[in-house]
């Protein structure tokens, strides 16, 4: 059947974040995974990127006919999360329900249950996760593991109930279940987002006291709060703390420091840090170019905003529509029409269809000439 939806990039990043602990569970419970097991995710990822959703369903249906893997729960788990990856939640749930009819003769375990819970979390249906965990574990006699509870905790936090998540954490501790930074991170993140710094710090102390050493993810959660509400000095202190624990600040951390500099009016420090990322053996990512260019434009530095945006474009990291529009308008206002036309020429075919008319109207209003396709291809062909 034809599939109407498509997965946005933010959905994919969100899903991948939830998929990491699930993948770890596959390895831990079933040993070294077969190459074919994870090849499915790779194939589906490419098809999602190309919006070929009918082909995804055909691919996965063919995979389920593979008799050599049909009695492996890890195989079905991957099929489930692959459907979810393509935003086919109903199909993912149907696979879980029909596993016995599809050839799986053993009893379901937390592995396939976690795959389904992850699928609902990916779809943003966090309110369904608590009941699904309770009902399906009872119906199929499945013993939830620490990953199951971790997914539940994350969903409770997404629902704005970190206090209930804390109760779930206490339940895990009473059952002597293994906890990890993955368990604590969503709770700390939720408290910080609710501006409950004291509660977040208490949970941090509890995490360390339980023997869980902070990892990149939880450090960056704290860094996000400081970037939004704190000072650059606090960010630098946190980064020193990271290094003392053996964790090297990554590009996410440096992006947050750049944002913190900009929000505190320290544009020169932000520019110097951006220029020195290579010396720190850190490679800028799409967020680096997009966010820094946006913040520079917000501070009326359109020249540097153009430079950063162009460097991103040269590496196929394209800006979002609204920041790009602000940049183009700012360049024209500052008599940088040639630069504005270059941006328009490169981006005119990069935005989703719903933005094309708005982009054309902006160009007409600003009296910008479109760079021809050949010029655009030449501009894009330079990779630095």
- The H-or-E segment that residue 79 falls in is helix 73-85
For the stretch 203-233, pLDDT in tens is 999 999 999 999 999 999 999 999 999 999 9
* Interatomic CA distance for residues 324 and 374, integer angstroms: 21
* Interatomic CA distance for residues 51 and 55, integer angstroms: 9
Map residue 247 onto helix, strand or coil. Answer: coil
Q: Are 293 and 323 in contact (CB under 8 A)?
A: yes
- Tell which residue, 234, 227, 290, has the closest CA to residue 257: 227
* Interatomic CA distance for residues 132 and 40, integer angstroms: 26
Instruction: Give the domain ranges of the chain.
Output: 1-132, 284-384
For the stretch 94-152, pLDDT in tens is 999 989 888 888 899 999 999 999 999 989 999 999 999 999 999 999 999 999 999 99
Name the pTM for this structure: 0.79
335-339: long-range contacts, CB 8 A cutoff, minimum separation 24 = 336/302, 336/303, 336/306, 337/368, 339/306
Cα angle 279-285-286, degrees, rounded to a multiple of 5: 145
- Tell which residue, 142, 170, 141, 165, has the closest CA to residue 155: 165
* Interatomic CA distance for residues 41 and 55, integer angstroms: 14
Question: How far is Cα of residue 90 from the mean position of the Cα atoms in its chain?
Answer: 22
Q: Which pLDDT value is given to residue 322?
A: 94
For the stretch 284-321, pLDDT in tens is 999 999 999 999 999 999 999 999 999 999 999 999 99
Q: Give me 294's structure tokens.
A: 């946006």
> What is the pLDDT of the chain when averaged over all its residues?
84
Q: Which pLDDT value is given to residue 284?
A: 97
In the chain, the percentage of residues whose pLDDT exceeds 70 is 82
In the chain, the percentage of residues whose pLDDT exceeds 90 is 64
* Interatomic CA distance for residues 293 and 6, integer angstroms: 28
* Interatomic CA distance for residues 248 and 224, integer angstroms: 16
* Interatomic CA distance for residues 368 and 371, integer angstroms: 9
Q: Which pLDDT value is given to residue 294?
A: 97
């Amino acid at each position: 059947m034809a599939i109407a939806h498509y997965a946005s990039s933010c959905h994919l990043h969100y899903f991948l974040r939830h998929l990491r602990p699930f993948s770890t569970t596959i390895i831990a419970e079933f040993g070294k995974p077969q190459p074919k097991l994870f090849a499915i995710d790779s194939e589906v990822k490419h098809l999602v990127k190309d919006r070929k959703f009918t082909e995804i369903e055909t691919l996965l249906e063919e995979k389920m006919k593979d008799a050599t893997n049909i009695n492996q729960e890890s195989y079905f788990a991957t099929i489930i999360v692959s459907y979810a990856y393509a935003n086919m939640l109903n199909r993912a749930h149907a696979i879980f329900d029909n596993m016995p009819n599809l050839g799986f003769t053993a009893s379901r375990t937390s592995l396939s249950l976690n795959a389904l819970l992850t699928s609902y979390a990916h779809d943003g249906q966090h309110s369904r996760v608590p009941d699904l965990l309770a009902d399906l574990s009872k119906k199929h006699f499945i013993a939830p593991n620490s990953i199951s509870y971790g997914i539940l905790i994350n969903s409770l936090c997404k629902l704005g109930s970190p206090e209930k998540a804390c109760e779930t954490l206490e339940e895990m501790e009473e059952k002597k279940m293994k906890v990890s930074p993955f368990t604590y991170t969503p709770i700390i993140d939720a408290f910080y987002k609710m501006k409950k710094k004291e509660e977040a710090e208490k949970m941090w102390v509890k995490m360390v006291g339980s023997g869980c050493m902070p990892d990149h993810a939880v450090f960056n959660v704290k860094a996000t709060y400081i970037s939004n509400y704190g000072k650059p000095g606090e960010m630098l202190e946190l980064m020193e703390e990271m290094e003392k624990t053996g964790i090297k600040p990554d590009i996410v951390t440096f992006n947050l420091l750049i944002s913190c500099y900009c929000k505190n009016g320290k544009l020169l420090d932000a520019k110097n840090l951006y220029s020195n990322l290579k010396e720190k053996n850190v490679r800028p990512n799409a967020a680096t170019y997009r966010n820094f260019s946006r913040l520079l434009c917000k501070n009326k530095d359109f020249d540097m905003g153009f430079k950063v945006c162009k460097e991103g474009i040269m590496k196929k990291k394209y800006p979002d529509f609204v920041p790009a529009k602000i940049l183009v308008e700012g360049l024209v206002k500052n008599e940088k029409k040639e630069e504005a036309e270059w941006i328009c020429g490169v981006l005119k075919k990069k935005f989703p269809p719903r933005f094309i008319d708005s982009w054309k109207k902006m160009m007409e209003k600003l009296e910008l000439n479109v760079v021809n396709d050949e010029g655009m291809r030449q501009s894009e062909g330079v990779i630095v």
